[in-house]
Amino acid sequence: MTTDTLLTLKLPGGYSFSDLKLRRYAADAIDLEKDVFKLVCTLSGMDFERVLQNPGPVVTAVLTVWYKRHLADGGAPDALMEDLRLQGPGLN
């Protein structure tokens, strides 16, 4: 049996995409502001400690949704996000 789960992501008011302070710390890894990411998880009803066990899918979802909203709202492109979008389909 296959079940699809719809993720409703709630972004924190008063914060901007740049507050995540994305930075690359290895060729295939990024770092971000953990407190801001935790706030997104909490607002969206996700168990942050559980997310930390396998953060990749949730981080990808948060970055993708928030970045698309950021651009739609007239925000400036982020160099790291643009690079990540070119690297793989998960962030397009």
For residue 60 the two structure tokens come to: 């990808």
Residue 25: predicted pLDDT: 85
Supply the pTM of this predicted model: 0.83
Residues of the chain where predicted confidence (pLDDT) is lower than 50: 1-4, 90, 92
Q: What DSSP designation does 54 have?
A: S
pLDDT of residue 70: 95
Which single residue is written with the structure tokens 């699809």? 4
Enter the tokens of residue 84.
């990540």
Classify residue 21 as left (phi > 0), alpha (psi -120 to 50) or beta.
left
pLDDT for position 6: 58
Q: Which sequence spans correspond to the domains of the chain?
A: 26-91
Counting Cα atoms < 13 Å in the Cβ hemisphere of 18 gives 6
DSSP state of 27: T
Tell me, what's the pLDDT at 4?
A: 47
